[in-house]
Structure 1
């Protein structure tokens, strides 16, 4: 995959020629650009790093740390760490920023540099543009030997994260312990294997682990979608299992499976959490344009406003701050709880889901049945680097002139019985085509009718 630069950071496959993939030269160049931007911003010259379980992680981590040190930046290396753990560690250590070394849901050949500011949040689009301009201009100056940054390892970040989740005002730890839940975790052989089980143990939850080796050799496609989680769904057919949970390699996405192997899904993770939170702390709810209508329906149930943002964690966070949202996230299973931090976090997501189960006395299957039913189709169109997306959008709008639409992120068409959202991926050379309707047949029909106009 060509090196992809976006608000999600720098991402690509390992190896190849510089400028085409995520090579050592590209890692050094872009990390140095980030360090130059950080120093110019006046933030403390301290950066926290952490990585998921990918086999390339140790190499990417070493290059990242050495580059930061060569720019006069001190480094705290959290080692194996989830994305939300690193995000929280930035503020915990008083750092000027952070770099998460993970390509999220992408396969093992990929890795990425996900860049954080001093608040432990993804850097803004404007900051990213400034950073890339510095790299393009070669505006990088390395320090002399007497100014090199330091490097230390600190593995306490996960415990700090866990303590914060357990101390969250809406996490009903005692009720969860009394319920004696049994869960099955698919950790996809990454850092979910070392972060979710300790949380379960602290909450008195029995946790059966699948794919729990911290090898980074993903046992299946690591994106937590039903076609990749047949093993988890099969395991949940065993009696006595209350909840199946699947996370992606960096543990910022949470998908749910119910007893009997029922797919609850990533889209209904946010709906379930919002249902629980709004009962206790009413307020605005935010999700992105590609998320299920169910989230807006749940907000309406409690008489609370719903707002849609552009896709991407930083965009959701900005909208949440703008409207003082009580809860938010993305339909890919990413829960953002501002009481904890402004980042997608599977640990707080799981703790809130378990709190909902424990306090309501309902199963996850019963909760799912209480929400409006929608089916979503997630399709894509592979495109070349020179693909004219604007022309494609023009063709779609011409075909559907009277349909309500949003253009804050790509093009979303809101039909009376469903919607279709077209947008360029932040992480891959594709146009995503998402659709939703009350039935899978109607969702596929909507997607096909628009997808055919892209080329």
Structure 2
């Protein structure tokens, strides 16, 4: 599974091949030991999404946790951000979610939260990883009454009440279309919006273990766009498999991505004195139009590497309370410690309800600059940064675009790819530049 077991979002891999039940068992043992800080009887919350492999990995993980003497609160199928919240709600020492988010069904993952619901820092993940092959020597295996127990709890109701508490009004009179991606949001999302008074229409809320993210969800926004037009909804909301992301669309079916959602919320929060340090944290992938729009409203943008963990690190470092990604993974740090698609949807709808403006009008807060992304398959990802010819072509492209565009070349974190992104006002020019850059990288590194 690579040189380091933990990636940017926990341990991921093909279930039963790379992410095996044995590995899940060992992660349960090592994680419970490290995160308990030697507490004699720690408690760990465990949740999962709807993948068919979730039952298998959950059983192995829980067995590993209980084998150390730790107790488990099993909350069933809930969104990833629900596990972060429920860890705090139940006063647990840690939380674990079994999910591979927006990835295909053959993949799964194990993501661990600390007692406050934050993703683990690299140092703690490294400590857990170092213990995996040394579990029996260093970690106790109690017997008799000291073995851990499993307690089943309803995770949906307390999480739903938490989400509803974030809304500053009800949504009576608003017609909402939901795409639940046949994933972890399939029960709780319709429940929340109906109890907030909205008229709700739902698709992709019938998971069978294998249809999670299949031609649906936030990575397929055309589905919610069409559904909104079919049912004549005011707003469309599309989640990914573990519901930590939101992609919306307006009543016309136009996509409202993470940049739009952040811009709308940042403007609202700034005008009410709620945006800490008048700053939003975004990644290098956020559109230039996002930064331009916020600058015109007196809001600063801080950019990070791609990955919500880097967004969160910058938010904690700078004391900011709003940040996220173009993909719809948005963190409202005043409310939760990770991206939360349903919470984000409630925030967006609260603004729609209060302003009495259609989302199509709110969406116009920013002008989207054309953006071209090309993936180049290479043998050596590391070689691009030192290659003189590649550097020369990048500099030429940047000089040609000037202040009206930008170039971003970066290696993929998980695949043998170099990602080329070119952004600017003229679509023809940025397409030509992106292809030219991609060809040079292919020639030099393939």
TM-score by length of 2: 0.88
Q: Does 1:310 align with 2:305?
A: yes
* CA 1:142–1:369: 2 relative to 1, 3 Å: same
Could you say which residue in structure 1 is the equivalent of 2:199?
206
Structure 2 Cα separation of the partners of residues 442 and 67 of structure 1: 55
Could you say which residue in structure 2 is the equivalent of 1:409?
none
Structure 2 Cα separation of the partners of residues 294 and 100 of structure 1: 35
Could you say which residue in structure 2 is the equivalent of 1:144?
142
Could you say which residue in structure 2 is the equivalent of 1:5?
6
Q: Does 1:126 align with 2:123?
A: yes
- Stretches of structure 1 lacking an aligned partner (at least 5 in a row): 406-412
Kept in 1: contact 2:263–2:365 (CA 8 A): no
Structure 2 Cα separation of the partners of residues 192 and 98 of structure 1: 18
Structure 1 Cα separation of the partners of residues 97 and 49 of structure 2: 8
Structure 2 Cα separation of the partners of residues 302 and 229 of structure 1: 29
Could you say which residue in structure 2 is the equivalent of 1:24?
21
Q: Secondary structure at the match of 2:407?
A: strand
* CA 1:445–1:143: 2 relative to 1, 3 Å: farther
How far 1:345 moved relative to its partner? 0.6
Q: Does 1:447 align with 2:444?
A: no
Task: String of CA shifts for 1:168-216, please: whole Å, max 9, x gaps.
Answer: 3xx3314x33xx1111111111122112111111221111111111323
Could you say which residue in structure 1 is the equivalent of 2:292?
297
Could you say which residue in structure 1 is the equivalent of 2:159?
161
Could you say which residue in structure 1 is the equivalent of 2:168?
172
* CA 1:133–1:240: 2 relative to 1, 3 Å: same
TM-score by length of 1: 0.87
Q: Secondary structure at the match of 1:377?
A: strand
Structure 2 Cα separation of the partners of residues 342 and 162 of structure 1: 16
Q: Does 1:330 align with 2:329?
A: no
Kept in 2: contact 1:7–1:124 (CA 8 A): no
Could you say which residue in structure 1 is the equivalent of 2:224?
232
How far 1:48 moved relative to its partner? 0.8
How far 1:389 moved relative to its partner? 2.4
Could you say which residue in structure 1 is the equivalent of 2:393?
399
Could you say which residue in structure 2 is the equivalent of 1:408?
none
Number of equivalent positions: 433
* CA 1:5–1:450: 2 relative to 1, 3 Å: farther
Q: Secondary structure at the match of 2:6?
A: strand
Structure 2 Cα separation of the partners of residues 382 and 142 of structure 1: 46
How far 1:101 moved relative to its partner? 0.5
Task: String of CA shifts for 1:210-244, please: whole Å, max 9, x gaps.
Answer: 1111323136245623xx34332222223631111
How far 1:65 moved relative to its partner? 0.8
Kept in 1: contact 2:183–2:213 (CA 8 A): no
Structure 2 Cα separation of the partners of residues 393 and 43 of structure 1: 49
How far 1:427 moved relative to its partner? 4.7
Q: Compute the RMSD of aligned alpha carbons.
A: 2.7
